[in-house]
A and B are shown apart, each in its own frame.
Chain A
């Protein structure tokens, strides 16, 4: 099998008492202040590392961290990539072009979502040395992990959209929910907790770019 290269960018945002108070407030102006204080303008991403792994590792991580059974997600991505590059299909084949775009046929959203979860789990293990405690069903977050007594709450997002702006914005929106869950956990327990929101853009079948935001309570 071939290698997939993941270009990882990251940032760390400490959740001060002020930020915790803002994110829990029922007042909309406080929530807006929270969103502004954790924005990309104040907390930009920096290059972190490049993780090169065999495809079989990614498939194994999808099986471990995805909520659904996904059959050969990397093949789905490869096929989608071919349709972007001018895949020849046999004459008479009834193509479902009604949902196609200028960038080719639509990608399998389940495969993309599963790959996002697999990559998030992989990076939580490789970078933070965290071990899976559970993968909740139909619930938030996507994975709960642990390392050295610290609990890691992991939420994954993924896309194949052409530029990085979209996935960064999607990951940014997720920070409110993540911060709220972290504060809720802290009320009853003194264990240290961190939130990892991992947004992954599948650039092509061999190259991914992941944006990790680490919230520290």
Chain B
């Protein structure tokens, strides 16, 4: 499974580190919610990434599809998260036994994992209609890469969702405000950006940008995508 560190992952791991620094070392290591919750989110993210990868594999390789049914994706996601978190905490000289937390997460995510990875509905896999949208990696200005996902049906796209893969600290909202045809509404995330031609963009604290394309024809949708990329280039400019 491919799995790259995202801004959200880094945030979750930092939450674990902060929680470890806010407790007595002698306390029981297995029932601190403040460690469990960020770990849960990391495993969910790893599972979703796995589903996206699988979705692409299933579409391109029918034989591989059969093999996927036998894979323990939840176990694999936990192993990846465990390696990453343990490595990060070691670098900070922090120690914690995560095994019991992962047992807890495994119980909680057993059934949701089947839904996320598609195992709960074998028929859906065979029909190659996985519910997790596949993203397109695009190159923005300033060397930033982003995933652009079309949400909805292939012939009826409901929205475009762009999320940077490159880690960035802040968004340049001032640059967007200086653009004559955009109004940034709101005093905090999620910002509501009213763009040209009545387009409304949602800019969130995970640095994702969403725009609804409901009811648009292909040409209008392509124009909308162009404005989305222009806005992303302005927001991610440092």
Q: In the complex, how many residues of chain A place their beta carbon closer than 8 angstroms to a beta carbon of chain B?
A: 35
- Check if B41 sits within 8 Å of A134, measured CB to CB: yes
Q: Which of A17-25, A121-129, A169-177 contacts B (4 or more CB under 8 A)?
A: A121-129
Q: Does A6 count as interface, using CB distance less than 8 angstroms?
A: no
Query: What interface size band does chain B fall in?
Result: 35 or more
- Check if B40 sits within 8 Å of A191, measured CB to CB: no
Min CB distance A207 to B, Å, is 17
- Check if B18 sits within 8 Å of A188, measured CB to CB: no
- Check if A191 sits within 8 Å of B34, measured CB to CB: yes
The tally of CB-CB contacts under 8 A between chains A and B is: 97
**Interface SS of A by simple majority:** mixed
**Interface SS of B by simple majority:** mixed
Residues of chain B contacted by A138 (CB below 8 angstroms): 108, 111-112
Min CB distance A119 to B, Å, is 12
- Check if B212 sits within 8 Å of A125, measured CB to CB: no
Q: Does B82 count as interface, using CB distance less than 8 angstroms?
A: no
Q: Does B230 count as interface, using CB distance less than 8 angstroms?
A: no
- With contacts A133-B12, A137-B112 known, is A54 near B37, CB below 8 A? no
Q: Does A178 count as interface, using CB distance less than 8 angstroms?
A: no
- The residues in B between 25 and 60 inclusive whose CB is less than 8 angstroms from any CB of A are 27-28, 31-34, 37-38, 40-41, 44
Give the docked Cα–Cα distance between A82 and B187 (Å): 33
Q: Does A85 count as interface, using CB distance less than 8 angstroms?
A: no
- With contacts A60-B204, A64-B204, A134-B44 known, is A129 near B22, CB below 8 A? no
Q: Which of A27-35, A89-97, A144-152 contacts B (4 or more CB under 8 A)?
A: A144-152
Give the docked Cα–Cα distance between A77 and B33 (Å): 36
- Check if A125 sits within 8 Å of B205, measured CB to CB: yes
A interface, CB within 8 angstroms of B: 1, 52-54, 56-57, 59-61, 64, 69, 122, 125-126, 129, 131-139, 144, 146, 149, 151, 181, 184-185, 188-191
